[in-house]
Amino acid sequence: MKHLMTGNEAIARGCYEAGVTVTAAYPGTPSTEILENMAQYKEDIYSEWSPNEKVAMEVAIGASIAGARSLAAMKHVGVNVAADAIFTYAYTGVNGGFVFVSADDPGMHSSQNEQDNRHFARHAKFPMLEPSDSQEAKDFTKEAFEISEKFDVPVMLRVTTRICHSKTPVSFEDRVGDKVKPYEKNIKKYVATPANGRVLHVLLEKKLIELEKFSNETSLNRIEWNDKTIGIITSGVAYEYAKEVFGEDASYFKIGFSYPLPMEKIKSFAKEVDTLYVIEELEPFMEEQMKANGIQCIGKEKIPNVGELSPHVIEEALKGTKAETLPVKAEKAVPRPPVMCAGCPHRGFFYELSRKKNIMVTGDIGCYTLGSAEPLNAMDTCICMGASVSAGHGAQVAFNKNKIDKKVVGVIGDSTFFHSGITGLLDIVYNRGNVVTVILDNRITGMTGHQENPGTGYTLMGEEAPVIDIASVVKACGVKHIETVNPNNLKESKEALDRALASDEPSVLITRWPCVLKNFSKEDIEEFDLKKTICKVNEEKCTTCKVCGRVGCPAISFDEKAKIDPTMCVGCEVCLQVCPFKAIEKVGE
């Protein structure tokens, strides 16, 4: 019986079968569903949403040292956050098998960059596996734990969006039972002082030599001989694309264990073929190492290092041919950019923010980044998780220092605040900054599809948890000017914003209303008035001035008059408050 699974589901299944007992992650596309799917194995595996990727990595490292097979999962930019931990854990080595997943996003389907995290393996010196489909995602996860324990190293499983989110058939095996090693105190191994680190680094270099031998021998690195005119070295989903384009007309060296590379085996493969292509997505990771070893090959001079690969990109780059297409006039289809949902609690506050003159809005990573889009245009920057707070402080300091009259407002979501906003806030208070920080608390981690976080009162495994109160955290950071507002109430939002902008001390506004797409908890239902109502245009009063269109709600459109789609409207009343003619009315109460 084959099961149709995404790569993410398959990785979770692999952990189950491998006897893993602890996993941790912070959600991030395309990695999120790995831990979401882990929750179904909660009888056997403890799984948690950690506040950020560094914490998740450290939780899994601690579990590994304590003897458990453990896994941490994150998106590519999450590895940047967690990198500090993993560079040193590469030195110390593991006890229970330790694997972390880096889910890269070539093409930036839902990311701020398309960094190639294969470089982390070489940079931090740990082995790396790259599956090409869901069956391999499961099998390689299990293999990664074996390698981790055999060579005493952390292992990176590197996947990409097309592996994570493509469903391919997978066959199951049974769980091996809990794999737990005894814990023994070992100061020389696990306490990374300079003295121990000097010894551990030498040991690590020796492990890498052994790992390269393994790389040359393992069936994870597999040659498929066909016609020898063309030889192709490839890894990950690019292998599938290459097979699609060249079929049986080329020989393949499929690299599943891609660091350290099987250089001896690659050299002998290269000798057998007339022309050698290296087909890899994004950076010339394999190509540069091969060229440094004197192997002649064709790679990035023909294949783009920008964006996602696909069969047709490879076909065009290497064969110079492409499929015939219909003469479509692209401009005929109106663009369909993502927008804040009808009833999104961010809309009201961003509308007020958009009306403020002479401010700079430092943004962050989440649904509210859509506040930067038409028609609100209420955001100046978005760099990385937490930067709204600290870069906002930096910008305000620069304006103040250089006598530029401009006020900065940093906007950050609830989950992002827990992730990395708190340290920035401490910085503001400690260094006497006066920036305005707005925490947009929609009672859930929204953008990645509604994951629990320390503020929601529930865990990944569905258990009740203490609710971390954001206002109390802000107060504990030393902020004195704190206001909590209903973001759907424009007057309340505007007045609170005006008070904060007028203040010379650091101020924090918390907007508190649940995400409209959330499955409301019993606490949400108790706290907020969430009964379904809708707003309707009174056509006699409507002058079609289109002011309501400025809030950017997808439920509002215009014919002769403004109209509100009753299937989309949830009665948030933001449009009702901006209408200068009082032509929008509440119905269905």
Partner 1 sequence: MEETKNILLVGVGGQGIILASKILSQGLINAGYDVKMSEVHGMAQRGGSVTTQVRFGDKVHSPIIGKGQADIIVAFEKMEAYRWLDYLKTDGKVVVNNYAIPSVPSLTGKIPYPNQILEDAKELVENLTVVQAADIAVELGNIKAQNIVLLGALLKAMDISDMEWDIVLKENIKERFLELNQNALKAGMDAV
The yes or no reply on residue 424 touching partner 1 (CB under 8 A) is: no
Q: In this complex, which beta carbon is closest to partner 1, that of residue 65 or of residue 556?
A: 556
User: Please, are residues 60 and 144 in contact by the beta-carbon 8 Å criterion?
Assistant: no
Query: Which residue of 42, 165, 207, 300 would you call a contact of partner 1, by CB under 8 A?
Result: 165
User: Please, are residues 552 and 578 in contact by the beta-carbon 8 Å criterion?
Assistant: no
The yes or no reply on residue 322 touching partner 1 (CB under 8 A) is: yes
User: Please, are residues 99 and 52 in contact by the beta-carbon 8 Å criterion?
Assistant: no
- CA distances 437 to 351, 382, 484, 495, Å, are 17, 14, 12, 15
Would you state the structure tokens that stand for residue 219, as one six-digit string? 């069936």
Shortest distance (Å) from residue 77 CB to partner 1: 14
The yes or no reply on residue 312 touching partner 1 (CB under 8 A) is: yes
Distance CA 277, CA 260 (A): 19
Q: In this complex, which beta carbon is closest to partner 1, that of residue 64 or of residue 168?
A: 168
Would you state the structure tokens that stand for residue 492, as one six-digit string? 């309340």
Q: In this complex, which beta carbon is closest to partner 1, that of residue 132 or of residue 507?
A: 132
The yes or no reply on residue 525 touching partner 1 (CB under 8 A) is: no
Query: Which residue of 150, 195, 225, 375 would you call a contact of partner 1, by CB under 8 A?
Result: 375
The yes or no reply on residue 478 touching partner 1 (CB under 8 A) is: no
Distance CA 291, CA 298 (A): 10
Query: Which residue of 174, 274, 324, 463 would you call a contact of partner 1, by CB under 8 A?
Result: 324
Bridge partners of 585, per DSSP, are 536
- CA distances 164 to 29, 51, 73, Å, are 9, 22, 12
The yes or no reply on residue 379 touching partner 1 (CB under 8 A) is: no
Q: How many residues bind partner 1 (CB under 8 A)?
A: 56
The contacts of residue 505 (CB under 8 Å, 6+ apart) are: 434, 480, 481
Distance CA 576, CA 586 (A): 8
Pick the stretch among 84-92, 164-172, 191-199, 580-588 that binds partner 1 (CB under 8 A): 164-172
Query: Which residue of 182, 294, 335, 462 would you call a contact of partner 1, by CB under 8 A?
Result: 335
Instruction: Calculate the dihedral angle through the C-alpha atoms of 173, 30, 512, 462, rounding to the nearest 10 degrees.
Output: 0
The yes or no reply on residue 311 touching partner 1 (CB under 8 A) is: yes
The yes or no reply on residue 112 touching partner 1 (CB under 8 A) is: no
The yes or no reply on residue 325 touching partner 1 (CB under 8 A) is: yes
The yes or no reply on residue 558 touching partner 1 (CB under 8 A) is: yes
Q: How does DSSP classify residue 386?
A: T
Residue type, 465: A
Region 502-521 residues binding partner 1, contact defined as CB under 8 A: 517
Residue type, 249: D
Query: Which residue of 341, 470, 474, 584 would you call a contact of partner 1, by CB under 8 A?
Result: 341
Pick the stretch among 255-263, 436-444, 527-535, 544-552 that binds partner 1 (CB under 8 A): 544-552
Q: In this complex, which beta carbon is closest to partner 1, that of residue 184 or of residue 324?
A: 324
Query: Which residue of 55, 60, 200, 370 would you call a contact of partner 1, by CB under 8 A?
Result: 370
Distance between first and last Cα of the chain: 52
CA angle in degrees (0–180, nearest 5) for 584-510-109:
80
Q: Are strands 22-25 and 46-49 parallel, antiparallel or unpaired?
A: parallel
Peptide bond into 375 cis (omega under 30): yes
The yes or no reply on residue 566 touching partner 1 (CB under 8 A) is: no
Query: Which residue of 29, 70, 95, 442 would you call a contact of partner 1, by CB under 8 A?
Result: 29
Give Cα 48 distance to the centre of its chain.
16
The yes or no reply on residue 374 touching partner 1 (CB under 8 A) is: yes
The yes or no reply on residue 119 touching partner 1 (CB under 8 A) is: no
Pick the stretch among 122-130, 137-145, 163-171, 190-198 that binds partner 1 (CB under 8 A): 163-171
The yes or no reply on residue 219 touching partner 1 (CB under 8 A) is: no
The contacts of residue 202 (CB under 8 Å, 6+ apart) are: none
- CA distances 278 to 252, 289, 303, 314, 316, Å, are 10, 11, 9, 11, 15
Query: Which residue of 307, 449, 566, 588 would you call a contact of partner 1, by CB under 8 A?
Result: 449
Place of tokens 């099987």: 262
Shortest distance (Å) from residue 290 CB to partner 1: 24
The yes or no reply on residue 310 touching partner 1 (CB under 8 A) is: yes
Please give the residue ranges that form the binding site for partner 1 (CB under 8 A): 2, 4, 29-30, 109-110, 133, 162, 165-169, 237, 240-241, 243-244, 310-313, 315, 322-330, 332-341, 367, 370, 374-375, 447, 449, 517, 546, 549, 552, 554, 556-558
